[in-house]
Chains A and B, each alone.
Chain A
Amino acid sequence: TQLLEQSPQFLSIQEGENLTVYCNSSSVFSSLQWYRQEPGEGPVLLVTVVTGGEVKKLKRLTFQFGDARKDSSLHITAAQPGDTGLYLCAGGSGYSTLTFGKGTMLLVSP
């Protein structure tokens, strides 16, 4: 069974701070996706990374896929209250089944 461990489980910070959340596995994935989920809504895809060592930037968000394709990180610069939400990583192997981590709940206070 492929498992994805996310850390920290919960993060509460002030507006303007930087933060990094992690997604780790003992398994190799062909792709790694990051989603953000708000209360009462389904997850929304932020990024997909597929190449070991790949770095993708989306405005203030920087995503990195580990060289061995077993781990990933999400770094947010100058966090804003609108960044509040549950951040989920999901690993893909082969066809379409995704394995999700438990998520990191981020709370950004003004």
Chain B
Amino acid sequence: GAGVSQTPSNKVTEKGKYVELRCDPISGHTALYWYRQSLGQGPEFLIYFQGTGAADDSGLPNDRFFAVRPEGSVSTLKIQRTERGDSAVYLCASSLGTSNMNEQFFGPGTRLTVL
């Protein structure tokens, strides 16, 4: 079966532009997570969905970041007015349930570069 997929794999944009990053979770996984990984760092939690609703968005750095999951499957992370400091790999993960005992399956990430 297919794993978590993310598109695009690479995105280069200019400072101030708007970007959308897409995540297709494993079919049937109700929980979906977004993380950001900067060079030399571990993944940093951004937001977590249970179904269609954002159960915890405490990791979003500011109001330029927003994520949706309208049908409880595909999710889009949206970044407005991008800044150079937003450059990182954005990882998406999905899991069957909400317990931290449930394995999170990660996608390959989208590498965002803001020039």
List residues of chain A with CB under 8 Å of any chain B CB: 4, 6, 30-31, 40-45, 48, 50, 88, 90, 92-103
Contacts and interface: CB of A to CB of B under 8 A. Distances in A.
A42 B98 contact: no
B42 to A, nearest CB: 3
The secondary structure that dominates the B interface is: loop
Given A95-B98, A99-B45, 19 more contacts: A31-B101, A40-B108, A41-B108, A41-B109, A42-B4, A42-B107, A45-B103, A48-B101, A50-B101, A88-B42, A95-B56, A95-B100, A96-B33, A96-B95, A96-B100, A96-B102, A98-B100, A102-B40, A102-B42
Contacts of B62: none
9 contacts: A4-B42, A40-B108, A90-B43, A92-B101, A95-B100, A96-B100, A96-B102, A100-B43, A102-B41
A25 to B, nearest CB: 13
Contacts of A4: 42
A103 B25 CA distance: 25
B108 A93 contact: no
Interface of B: 4, 31, 33, 35, 40-45, 48, 55-56, 59, 91, 93, 95, 98-109
A36 to B, nearest CB: 11
Contacts of A94: 100
A78 B7 CA distance: 38
Contact of B56 (A41, A88, A97, A102): A97
B90 to A, nearest CB: 11
A102 B104 CA distance: 18
A98 B31 CA distance: 13
